[in-house]
């Protein structure tokens, strides 16, 4: 037998009569007349096929069934009353579940503070953390297994089709085994560093950062000697301690105090930096906005000043921002008190705060890029070089051309990454122009300009 659905209105009427034990007082409490209330209780009893009240001319008492039903009905009404607030909280991200993936470097410094603050501010949101490399995070985002992820990449790199908020910018430092002579050198020479074996993460987990490191070597006319690949930064540092090679790691990895390893900056060289971004797909989990609000200030400042590294000017900016916020807040508090007590509204504090924010916004605005000189050649892009390499590799393969004892890749293996482009460009640039299938003067000039610019990676 299918049970009939009973409206919450009937349950509220039942509770009113059960608590008042008087139909007249219960009707007044419900702002209705007594006859409709009596009919409603009779209809409820007919639906349940039980007697809820024992009634006489002088008294009303709960029956055994009514007494048993009252506690769960009260609980039902309380939970039903909480549903609108629950829906609003869920829409605002104040309740529910937030699944975050993160790379290990974020766990050294940034993530613990954000997680602790978020749990204090939003205790009703269940936070699930998953450590994963960049490639695994992208797959999890596509499958809907995580809501967002903290990913490591080179500065300015943008992931297509994803929303992105930069939360950290830091330099790469060199991890060296303490037995390596470089560990005690007063100043590291880039030339000496580049000849060292390298412990490196695979390209698939952070392609842009991998290419930036390779670009540092390419700019000096060298190819990295990969001694060992490892995925996690902790594993890379552990392998460095075994003196398998040196490693370029984010500055935050210094927090991982591994015996037998020292961290050193390479001064006077254009060493790549790295960034961490919070990445997500649309539509976003509502709780993500509340979580992302925690590192927003750091992200704004680090975009211009490298705030995480504690430069004095950055702390000055932070103090000014706090002062502006305090002035505006004080203005609104004073406004409320003035309205209550009938005094003039003081807007001077808000005006001062807004002026502060205006000056800071001008200060924080990035300087416009300089206009290119008239007649200057446009910089060669990586895409142009890739196109030349692809076309010439196909033609030279068909002609079975071999130059300097280095055979070009087959068409099926052409240009898999920046390293392959560089290697093939070196070969092509050195080839003679004695065959229609080989490189032309224009193409050789294009490659020459690319090499002169440091062979920038993709």
| Range from 90-94, 143-147, 190-194, 404-408 carrying the lowest mean pLDDT | 404-408
Helix residue ranges per DSSP H, 92-127: 110-121
Its sign, for the CA torsion 312, 317, 322, 324, is positive
Express as a percent the part of the chain with pLDDT over 90. Answer: 38
Predicted local distance difference test score (pLDDT) of residue 300: 42
| Range from 128-142, 263-277, 317-331 carrying the lowest mean pLDDT | 317-331
> What's the average model confidence in pLDDT over 190-197?
90
Residue 288 pLDDT > 50, yes or no? yes
167 three-state secondary structure: strand
Residue with tokens 């509770």: 15
Q: Is the peptide bond before 283 cis (omega within 30 degrees of 0)?
A: yes
Predicted local distance difference test score (pLDDT) of residue 290: 81
Express as a percent the part of the chain with pLDDT over 70. Answer: 66
CB 237, CB 249: distance < 8 Å: yes
Predicted local distance difference test score (pLDDT) of residue 44: 92
CA–CA distance, 64 with 54 (Å, rounded to integer)? 9
| 156 conformational bin, left if phi > 0, alpha if psi -120 to 50, beta if neither | left
End-to-end distance of the chain based on CA atoms, in angstroms? 69
Predicted local distance difference test score (pLDDT) of residue 355: 65
CB 185, CB 324: distance < 8 Å: no
Tell me the two tokens of residue 436.
């229609």
| Range from 43-52, 89-98, 415-424 carrying the lowest mean pLDDT | 415-424
* Residue 49 pLDDT grade (very low, low, confident, very high; cuts 50, 70, 90): very high
Top mean pLDDT of 132-136, 284-288, 420-424 is at 132-136
222 three-state secondary structure: coil
pLDDT digits (tens, 9 = 90+) for 231-254: 999 999 999 999 999 999 999 898
pLDDT digits (tens, 9 = 90+) for 195-222: 999 999 999 999 999 999 999 998 888 8
């Amino acid at each position: 037998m299918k049970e009939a659905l009973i409206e919450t209105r009937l349950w509220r009427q039942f509770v009113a009569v059960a608590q008042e034990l008087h139909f007249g007082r219960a009707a007044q409490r419900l702002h209705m007349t007594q006859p409709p209330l009596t009919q409603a209780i009779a209809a409820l009893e007919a639906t349940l096929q039980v007697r809820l009240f024992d009634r006489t001319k002088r008294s009303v008492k709960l029956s055994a069934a009514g007494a048993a039903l009252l506690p769960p009905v009260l609980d039902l009404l309380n939970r039903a009353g909480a549903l609108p607030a629950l829906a609003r909280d869920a829409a605002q991200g104040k309740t529910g579940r937030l699944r975050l993936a993160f790379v290990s470097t974020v766990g050294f410094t940034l993530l613990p503070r954000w997680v602790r603050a978020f749990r204090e501010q939003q205790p009703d949101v269940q936070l699930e953390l998953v450590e994963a490399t960049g490639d695994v995070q992208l797959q999890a985002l596509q499958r809907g297994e995580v809501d967002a992820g903290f990913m490591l990449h080179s500065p300015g790199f943008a992931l297509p089709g994803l929303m992105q908020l930069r939360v950290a910018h830091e330099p790469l430092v060199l991890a060296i085994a303490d037995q390596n002579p470089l560990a005690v050198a007063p100043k590291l020479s880039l030339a000496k560093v580049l000849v060292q074996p390298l412990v490196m993460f695979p390209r698939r987990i952070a392609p842009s950062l991998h290419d930036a490191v390779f670009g540092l070597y390419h700019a000096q006319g060298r190819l990295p000697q990969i001694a060992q690949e490892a995925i996690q930064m902790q594993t890379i540092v552990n392998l460095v301690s075994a003196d398998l090679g040196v490693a370029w790691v984010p500055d935050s990895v210094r927090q991982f105090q591994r015996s037998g390893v020292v961290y050193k900056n390479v001064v006077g060289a254009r060493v790549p930096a790295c960034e961490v971004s919070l990445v997500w797909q649309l539509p976003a989990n509502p709780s993500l906005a509340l979580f992302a609000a925690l590192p927003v200030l750091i992200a704004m400042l680090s975009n211009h000043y490298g705030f995480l590294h504690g430069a004095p000017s950055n702390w000055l900016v932070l103090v000014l921002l706090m002062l502006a916020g305090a002035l505006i807040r004080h203005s609104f508090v004073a406004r409320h008190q003035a309205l209550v007590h009938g005094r003039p509204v003081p807007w001077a504090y808000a005006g001062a705060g807004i002026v502060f924010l205006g000056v800071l916004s001008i200060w924080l605005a990035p300087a416009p890029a300089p206009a290119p000189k008239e007649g200057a050649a446009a910089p060669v892009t990586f895409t142009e070089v890739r196109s030349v390499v692809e076309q010439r590799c196909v033609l030279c393969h068909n002609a079975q051309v071999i130059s300097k004892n280095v055979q070009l890749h087959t068409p099926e293996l052409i240009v898999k990454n920046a390293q392959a482009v560089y290697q093939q460009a070196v070969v092509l640039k050195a080839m003679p122009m004695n065959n229609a299938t080989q490189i032309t003067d224009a193409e050789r000039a294009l490659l020459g300009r690319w090499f002169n610019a440091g062979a920038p990676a993709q």
